[in-house]
């Protein structure tokens, strides 16, 4: 398999986590999201992924985008250590936790949105950071309440799931922008449990070859 | 089943589509997203859904949020007329199409983001509309290219899938804000095919009891 991604991209981080939990080997192709206006906008990359977003996964003659679609695909291809429960209610609850972060928080704080805020809308750096803090806090407040119902060692009971894969990049980003986390004890506990796992260490942004 | 939603909410529209395609009866509880500062922020609703977002689906003693998690749950509970292909590559491709819209476009243009732009960031109405046009165009440009590869009568071949369920609310919103659609012939064809379906007519925003 081949992964086109960027060390700091949340969605790339998610797919690296999926690949690491599934113990899949892959070749990594860094796509620098900032250099020269962003390599994701190059003609070569647009042929791979017309959305001009990372990641893209190549598996033989299969070409896939969208991190969550890729991880569900990996989970079907490699059923050992499942990332979703078998029970359909539990599965829906895990997916909902994942989407609470991946659909409601990440897209609103990703690079291209921040670029539009500071570029087209002329927002100050303070306004940009305020935007990030606002959406992270809103999202983590709700997530903390859900964790009180669902969490064990990890977001949903005591096995790693898709929800944990979505949590890690959002905590990474929150810390990067100094969002205070002390109001989220469940979230912090789960996060520190996750950091103990080899698969997580392998997938961390700072441990990628293109990390700066 | 009971659905808490709002006629104009994209995510509520998706779940209504899922319920209509699965021919499920349900009781509808409107949650007015604007009146009195937004009923989704009330204490009663926050107990149902701490994210303060619609929709929420109640199925017996199961309480679910996140439209895509709900629709995958319905698709498992009612396997007739599946909304996802059986083949795992095709399934990943349909999910990716769905997430291209539901994760990349909808969250960036939803009500609470627009309220933050015009409220906290003091954006003008023109800047707000510019924001919507920018993200819709970016997203539909890429989606049109994907439809050229995948579409038949509908987004993915000739059966209705999760991708179509995500497309309908985004076209509704694009039209509401007068985003020109003439550059997207595949998207327009699929959309007009979808509008011919009874299930789609049932689920349209303007056909809900709380429509204004």
> What CATH number did the domain enclosing B66 receive?
3.40.30.10
Q: CA B25, CA A130: separation in Å to the nearest integer? A: 43
Task: Write down the pLDDT at residue A107.
Answer: 96
Q: Is A92 close to B70, i.e. CB distance below 8 A? A: yes
| Judgement on whether residues A67 and A105 belong to the same structural domain of the protein | no
Tell me the H-state helices in B22-161. Answer: 43-48, 67-77, 88-102, 111-118, 125-150
Q: Is the dihedral of CA B166, B78, A85, B46 positive or negative?
A: positive
Residue B70 structural domain: 2-80+200-207
**ipTM entry:** 0.97
Task: Write down the pLDDT at residue B184.
Answer: 98
| Judgement on whether residues B32 and B111 belong to the same structural domain of the protein | no
| Judgement on whether residues B123 and B100 belong to the same structural domain of the protein | yes
A16 contact partners, CB below 8 Å, separation of at least 6 = A3, A5, A202, A203, A208
| Judgement on whether residues A149 and A62 belong to the same structural domain of the protein | no
The backbone torsions φ and ψ at residue B96, rounded to the nearest 5 degrees and listed phi first, read -65, -45
| Judgement on whether residues B124 and B162 belong to the same structural domain of the protein | yes
* β-bridge pairing B62-65 and B27-30: unpaired
| Judgement on whether residues A8 and A48 belong to the same structural domain of the protein | yes
- Whether residue B114 is contained in a domain is answered as yes
Task: Write down the pLDDT at residue B151.
Answer: 98
What is the Cβ-side half-sphere exposure of residue B74, based on CA atoms within 13 angstroms?
A: 31
User: Residue B159: which region, alpha, beta or left (left: phi > 0; alpha: psi -120 to 50)?
Assistant: beta
Element (H, E) at B30: strand B27-30
B196 contact partners, CB below 8 Å, separation of at least 6 = none
Residues B83, B156 contacting (CB under 8 angstroms): no
| Judgement on whether residues B40 and B75 belong to the same structural domain of the protein | yes
- Whether residue B187 is contained in a domain is answered as yes
Query: If you average pLDDT over every residue of chain A, what do you get?
Result: 97
Q: What is the DSSP letter of B85?
A: -
Q: CA B48, CA B139: separation in Å to the nearest integer? A: 32
- Average pLDDT on B30-44 reads 94
CA distance A200 to chain B (A): 24
- Whether residue B69 is contained in a domain is answered as yes
Q: pLDDT, tens digit, for every residue of A113-164?
A: 999 999 999 999 999 999 999 999 999 999 999 999 999 999 999 999 999 9
Q: pLDDT, tens digit, for every residue of B126-173?
A: 999 999 999 999 999 999 999 999 999 999 999 999 999 999 999 999
Confidence band of B19 (pLDDT split at 50, 70, 90): very high
CA distance A115 to chain B (A): 12
Percent of chain B scored above 90 by pLDDT? Answer: 100
Percent of chain A scored above 70 by pLDDT? Answer: 100
- Whether residue B157 is contained in a domain is answered as yes
- Whether residue A96 is contained in a domain is answered as yes
| Judgement on whether residues A141 and A100 belong to the same structural domain of the protein | yes
Task: Write down the pLDDT at residue A43.
Answer: 95
- Whether residue B56 is contained in a domain is answered as yes
Task: Write down the pLDDT at residue A160.
Answer: 98
Task: Write down the pLDDT at residue B153.
Answer: 98
Task: Write down the pLDDT at residue A148.
Answer: 97
Task: Write down the pLDDT at residue B66.
Answer: 98
CA distance A170 to chain B (A): 15
Residue whose C-alpha is closest to residue B99's, from B75, B129, B67, B77:
B67
Which chain A residues are Cβ-neighbours of B95 within 8 angstroms? 66, 68-69, 72
- Whether residue A212 is contained in a domain is answered as no
| Judgement on whether residues A104 and A180 belong to the same structural domain of the protein | yes
- Average pLDDT on A49-78 reads 97
Task: Write down the pLDDT at residue B41.
Answer: 95
CATH number at residue A115: 1.20.1050.10
| Judgement on whether residues A194 and A94 belong to the same structural domain of the protein | yes
- Give me the number of domains chain A comprises: 2
Task: Write down the pLDDT at residue B137.
Answer: 97
| Judgement on whether residues B116 and B59 belong to the same structural domain of the protein | no
Q: Is A50 close to B141, i.e. CB distance below 8 A? A: yes
Q: pLDDT, tens digit, for every residue of B39-78?
A: 999 999 999 999 999 999 999 999 999 999 999 999 999 9
When CB atoms are compared, the residue of A96, A123, A131 closest to B66 is A96
| Judgement on whether residues B73 and B110 belong to the same structural domain of the protein | no
Percent of chain B scored above 70 by pLDDT? Answer: 100
């Amino acid at each position: 398999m081949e992964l086109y991604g960027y060390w700091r991209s949340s969605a790339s981080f998610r797919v690296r986590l999926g690949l690491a939990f599934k113990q899949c080997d892959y070749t990594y192709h860094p796509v620098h999201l900032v250099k020269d206006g962003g390599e994701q906008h190059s003609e070569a990359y647009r042929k791979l992924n017309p959305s001009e977003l990372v990641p893209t996964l190549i598996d033989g003659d299969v070409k896939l985008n969208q991190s969550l679609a890729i991880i569900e695909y990996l989970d079907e291809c490699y059923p050992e250590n499942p990332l979703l429960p078998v029970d359909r209610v539990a599965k829906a609850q895990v997916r909902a936790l994942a989407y609470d972060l991946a659909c409601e928080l990440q897209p609103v704080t990703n690079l291209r949105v921040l670029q539009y805020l500071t570029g087209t809308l002329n927002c100050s750096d303070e306004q940009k950071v305020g935007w990030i803090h606002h959406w992270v806090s809103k999202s983590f407040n709700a997530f903390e309440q859900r964790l009180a119902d669902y969490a064990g060692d990890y977001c949903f009971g005591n096995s790693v799931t898709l929800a944990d894969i979505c949590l890690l990049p959002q905590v990474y980003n929150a810390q990067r922008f100094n969002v205070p986390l002390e109001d989220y004890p469940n979230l912090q506990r789960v996060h520190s449990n996750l950091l103990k796992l080899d698969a997580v260490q392998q997938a961390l942004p700072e441990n990628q070859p293109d990390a700066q």
